Amino acid sequence: MKLYVGNLSYETSEDELRDTFAPYGDVASAKIINDRDTGRSKGFGFVEFNDDEAARKAMSALNGSDLRGRALTVNEARPQAERPRGGMGAGGRERSGGGGYRGGNRY
C-alpha cells in the first residue's frame, strides 16, 4: 500500500521519512517529490509498505503527528492520473495550413 505524506518540512530527507515510518513495518520505499526546475522539495512524498496492515497502522499513528515542527498529513495515496505524452500537452493541437493563394488581389 502506498501512502501520501504531506506538510513535510523542506529539510526532511528520504532517509528521515523512511525512519519515521519504519517502526510500523517494512518500508518498501520512501520518496520525497522535488521540483523539476529547482530540485527543492515540494513538501510532500510517498511511503510504500509491502504489508497493507502495517501501512494502515502507520497512517493511523502518524497522521497529525509532528515531524520537524510540522503536523504530517498521512493518507492512502490515490493512483497517479494519466498524463499525456508528447510535447504539445493536453488538448494541444498543431495549426495546419498556412501559405498558398487565398484569392484576393495579387500584384
In the numeric block, which cell numbers belong to residue 45?
512524498
Q: Does 100 or 58 have the greater pLDDT score?
A: 58
Summarised one tens digit per residue, pLDDT across range 25-60 is: 999 999 999 999 999 999 999 999 999 999 999 999
Cα 43 to Cα 34: distance, rounded to the nearest angstrom: 8
- pLDDT (0 to 100) of residue 82: 79
Return the pLDDT at 73.
Answer: 98
Q: What is the pLDDT of residue 105?
A: 61
In this predicted structure, the answer to whether residue 93 has a pLDDT above a threshold of 90 is: no
**Domain annotation for the chain: domains and CATH numbers:** 2-75 (3.30.70.330)
Question: What pTM was estimated for this model as a whole?
Answer: 0.75
